[in-house]
Structure 1
Amino acid sequence: MSEMYTKERARVLLEEWTKGESLRKHGLAVSICTESYGRLEAERLGMSGVEAESFVEAYACAGLLHDMDYERHPSLEEHPFVGVTFLRGQGWPEEVLHAILAHADYSGTPRETHLDKALFACDELAGFLTACSLVKPTKSVLDVEVKGVLKKMKDKAFARAVLREDITGGAALLGLSVEEHVENCLRAMQTHAAELGLGGSSTE
């Protein structure tokens, strides 16, 4: 990824396009989870140094930008197409744009790369983990446990807007069990708990 296309720039764009705090936090949570998979993949591929950082940056940016147009353009006809058109005009790398398109089932864009699969896998799960955090007395992701998340996934009344099949399907795309996928994303979000506003009532 070029020096022009950074997490910092992606964050600025997300905040320019999205005024709602919860959607901004969602973009950040998805970015954190997706970036963690980028790091695992870079390691698997034997990358290090600048090469690894550039590789991982694409994952982080795709997470931050995947819903950047949703607040302004929530319809199936416009999201994520309006955002991708804007980003393409700005010269963002095609790998990032492809992943953003592929995260939406109805876009017709197949999930081909590891980045495509990771973004799709993390989108719904990041939202679900946030919901699991907010029902804790402390409102902290640090108090969420994998077994509790798996139990809540079976409760159809809890966070009913979250598509469970996208979480399970995403795990399968990455060659992981649902438990492993939940653990990976939960650990990533716990590492950034304060940044996500999920550090608990005592640290807010």
Structure 2
Amino acid sequence: MSERFGRDEALALLQEWTKGESLRKHGIAVSVCTEAYGRMEAARLGLAGAEAEAFVEPYACAGLLHDMDYERHPSLEEHPFVGVTHLRELGWPETVLQAILAHADYSGVARASHLEKALFACDELAGFLTACALVKPSKSINDVEVAGVKKKMKDKAFARAVKREDITGGAELLGVPLEEHLGNCLQAMQARAGCLGLEGSPVI
């Protein structure tokens, strides 16, 4: 990807289009999880160093940008189409744009590439893991465990807006067992707890 289209530019666009703190944090969380899958895929392909970093960049960017237009254009008619149109005008690579379109079930864009599958698989899960962290007394992602996440997934009243079928379907798309998928994203978010605002505080 061109230097004009890296994660710094993606983050700046997210901040420009999205003023709400929780939606900004959601974009960062999805980016962190999607990037983790990009790193796994780069390793599987035998990429290292600068080559691996270049491979991973679109994953991080797609995560940051997937909901950038949602605050201004939340309707099914407009999201994510308005954002993608703007990104296309700026010259962003089609690989990133296709992934953003494919994360919306109603866009008609199939999830074919690994990036497209990873973004879809991480979107709802990142939100769910955030919710799991925020109900902890410490409000820390570091206190969340996979077993607890699985239990919360069965509780329909908890984070009811999160589509459980997208989490399970995303794991299937990636060919990863559900428990492993939950662990992969949880680990990625724990490693970046600070930038997600989920490091929490000690419980006295």
Q: Which residue of 1 aligns with 2:21?
A: 21
Structure 2 unaligned runs (5+)?
Answer: none
Q: Which residue of 2 aligns with 1:201?
A: 201
Q: Which residue of 2 aligns with 1:80?
A: 80
1:27: how far off? 0.1
1:48: how far off? 1.3
CA distance in 1, matches of 2:55, 2:124: 23
Report whether the alignment pairs 1:144 with 2:144. Answer: yes
- Percent identity at matched positions? 76
Q: Which residue of 1 aligns with 2:168?
A: 168
Q: TM-score, normalised by structure 1?
A: 0.98
Could you list the per-position Cα deviations for residues 118-156 of structure 1 after superposition, in whole angstroms to 9, with x for gaps in the alignment? 000000000000000000000000000000000000000
1:55: how far off? 0.8
The AA in structure 1 aligned to 2:64 is L
Q: Tell me the secondary structure at the aligned position of residue 38 of structure 1.
A: helix
Report whether the alignment pairs 1:47 with 2:47. Answer: yes
Q: Which residue of 2 aligns with 1:180?
A: 180
Q: Which residue of 1 aligns with 2:155?
A: 155
The AA in structure 2 aligned to 1:167 is I
1:87: how far off? 0.2
Q: Which residue of 1 aligns with 2:11?
A: 11
Q: TM-score, normalised by structure 2?
A: 0.98
CA distance in 2, matches of 1:178, 1:73: 32
CA RMSD across the alignment: 0.9
CA distance in 2, matches of 1:52, 1:60: 13
Could you list the per-position Cα deviations for residues 84-116 of structure 1 after superposition, in whole angstroms to 9, with x for gaps in the alignment? 000000000000000000000000000000000
CA distance in 2, matches of 1:111, 1:87: 19
CA distance in 2, matches of 1:58, 1:146: 27
Report whether the alignment pairs 1:35 with 2:49. Answer: no
Task: List 4+ stretches of structure 1 deviating above 3 A.
Answer: none
Task: Please state which structure has a larger fraction of its residues in helix.
Answer: 2
CA distance in 2, matches of 1:49, 1:139: 35
